[in-house]
Amino acid sequence: MPHLYAIAIGSNRPHGAHGRPAGVVQAAIAELDCRFSLFEASPLLLNPASGGAGRDFANAVAILESPLEPPAMLAALKAVERAFGRRPCRRWGPRVLDLDILAWDGGRWSDRQLTIPHAALETRAFMLLPLSHIAPFWRLRGALTARQLAARLGKRRARP
């Protein structure tokens, strides 16, 4: 039985074939569509890097359909990252492509390598805003939807 996955897509390094990070994200969406069934993709979001990542990021979120269970989906996404030239680097460092599972239609999942929903989803606008744009009613925490969590994040950021 196929599952729906919300996948965060990010890049802050250029790629020889795909150009600047925005081109990398667009090429990654096309690649995900080839490997899985692309249900929807958000508009591109350009935002400043956080942590020690250096350059600014291009981000998007895609909704994919796949029969894979979460550990196999994670492995498949890591294979796509490697195909785009991602190599092991320091945590939060610059990367040509970063793919993260934000949520799936199976609810919560947790093991040593993967937590779904993504542990930082509620605090990262570059993940939550694109997700709320394409899947506003996706329930992420109990009855709270992507749209409601995005609104809460906006309120927290607006406080002095």
Catalytic residue numbers?
86, 95, 98, 100
Name the token pair of 79: 């294979």
Neighbours of 77 (CB within 10 A): 25
Q: Strand, helix or coil at 98?
A: strand
- C-alpha 141 chain-centroid distance: 17
Cis peptide before 48 (omega within 30 of 0): no
